Amino acid sequence: MTTRPLILNAVEMSTAGHLAFGLWRRHAPAARDYTDVDYWVELGRVLEDGGFDALFLADALGQLDTYERSADRALTDAVQTPLDDPLLVVSAIAAATSTLGIGVTVSTTYEQPYLLARKFTTLDHLTRGRIGWNIVTSQLDSAARNLGLERQLPHDRRYELAQEFLDVTYKLWEGSWDDGAVVKDRERGVYADPSKVHAIGHSGEYFSVPSAHLSEPSAQRTPVLFQAGSSPRGRAFAARNAEVVFVAGIEPVALRRNIEEIRRLAALEGRGPGAIRFIGLVTVIADATDEAARAKLRDYQRYRSVEGSIAHFSAITGIDWGQYDLDAPLEYIETESNRSILASLTKDVPGAAWTLRDVFASPDGVGGYGRPIVGSGATVAGRLEELADESGLDGFNIAGAVAIEDYRAFGEHVTPVLAERGRVSEKAPGRTLREALSGASSPLLPADHPAARYRGAFAGRPSAAPPLAAVAGTEG
């Protein structure tokens, strides 16, 4: 087993309570005001100083209203509610940092690819090549019904639409503007050479995008592509498109099996063995000693919200778990299907108990899912190394229970130990997020990625699409 640096991301959301539900109460009154730009600037600086590779911003487009068929619990306990737009904080963080990558979740279901492509190019410009995109296809009915859809698109059609969406953005990012198109020749008065800018002429089942990309190319062209699909269709989508995959669970054998399966699928797509990095999700509570960290955990537990956790679980499973008694044993949960969902949530946890309360108020937990890694820098670093080595994970999304405090503690106690062991990557201003995460020496997608086929694919085409009326043969 060679020692390689671990990818260290922080994972946040533009809301008062992201994954450790109820813990917003633990924050000092002004400590986590996600509506304040200074909060994001400080978070960015703490992460960059603490050796993190990237800040990852999750998102959702609807209220969490499955639990008790109401949003009341989500509002009361600040369960990812209220929720601001994550794309809009990026430039403030970018201006305050120089190496930290920033990944943002955006759904393909409610955006136009022509405009989404411009957004990520703009952010890649403003971050100087440090932007990533977590591609999601959206899962909340409460989003669909506010956004012009009668209901959620069926799962498989969402992925079909998402693939065409991606193909459009690949064409815009990789094929529309040739290398060297932007010349900025002040003498001749040529900003861009129009013979090197091409209309992409896309006409598909879901989208029609005849024109050239509005924005000039950025350092990475295509943002670093993240994905978290775990369904069969989602895995195939990730194997085809993703550069970084978020995998669920913390049980090493299951993780390794999942990783190997996605690698196998990626190979079938013609992608090289190192084409995808895999990232697990952990909550870390670190302090100077194991003792101090455990005391911090006990303090945190005073604030956690079991109902808030169940409200979130209800939204992501689409099942109102509020209908069950918190302390009813598993066998009293109605329907085989619901029992197996609950059982699957605890299957990675040896000796896990079998009531809703056992899952969401375990003596090791801190609100939300799973058990945090708690301890001194050496303890946490050891556990992360072990988990990565046993599972094949390339790194972690680290969720702070109490942001910014927990990230500062990680940087203070864990990062120095990991660095000593060669587990923290060297950071260099000017290096893109893609280079930092993949170790490659190019800021661009590798040649075996499906987007690469569009490089040069539109050579010879003009810079503008013909007017639609002419295309359709009708009058203007």
Q: Of all helices (H) and strands (E), which one includes residue 469? A: helix 468-472
Select the span of 108-116, 275-283, 353-361, 403-411 touching a copy of itself (CB under 8 A). 108-116
- Is residue 209 a contact residue for a copy of itself (CB under 8 A)? yes
Match 């640096």 to its residue by tokens. Answer: 5
First to last CA, the chain: 66
- Is residue 255 a contact residue for a copy of itself (CB under 8 A)? no
Neighbours of 65 (CB within 10 A): 21
- Is residue 322 a contact residue for a copy of itself (CB under 8 A)? no
Residue 331: CB minimum distance to a copy of itself, A: 26
Residues 26-55 that bind a copy of itself (CB under 8 A): 29, 35-38, 40-41
- Is residue 203 a contact residue for a copy of itself (CB under 8 A)? no
Residue 181: strand, helix, or coil: coil
- How many CA atoms does the CB half-sphere of 309 hold within 13 Å? 25
Among 127, 169, 355, 415, binds a copy of itself (CB under 8 A): 127
Peptide bond into 450 cis (omega under 30): no
Q: How far apart are CA 144 and CA 66, in angstroms?
A: 14
Binding positions:
59, 105, 155, 159, 230-231
- Is residue 81 a contact residue for a copy of itself (CB under 8 A)? yes
Q: How far apart are CA 349 and CA 399, in angstroms?
A: 19
- Is residue 319 a contact residue for a copy of itself (CB under 8 A)? no
- In whole angstroms, what separates CA 41 from the centre of its chain? 19
Among 1, 2, 150, 337, binds a copy of itself (CB under 8 A): 150
Size of site (CB under 8 A) for a copy of itself: 93
Residues 285-314 that bind a copy of itself (CB under 8 A): 303, 305
Peptide bond into 404 cis (omega under 30): yes
- Is residue 121 a contact residue for a copy of itself (CB under 8 A)? yes
Q: Are strands 244-247 and 277-287 parallel, antiparallel or unpaired?
A: parallel
Binding positions for FMN:
59, 105, 155, 159, 230-231
Site string for a copy of itself, 59-78 (x = CB under 8 A): --xxx-x---xxxx--xxxx
Select the span of 110-118, 340-348, 356-364, 403-411 touching a copy of itself (CB under 8 A). 110-118
Residue number, 151 or 350, with CB nearest to a copy of itself: 151
Q: How far apart are CA 238 and CA 234, in angstroms?
A: 6
- By CB atoms closer than 10 A (0-12, 13-18, 19+), residue 193 is middle
Among 8, 24, 53, 366, binds a copy of itself (CB under 8 A): 24
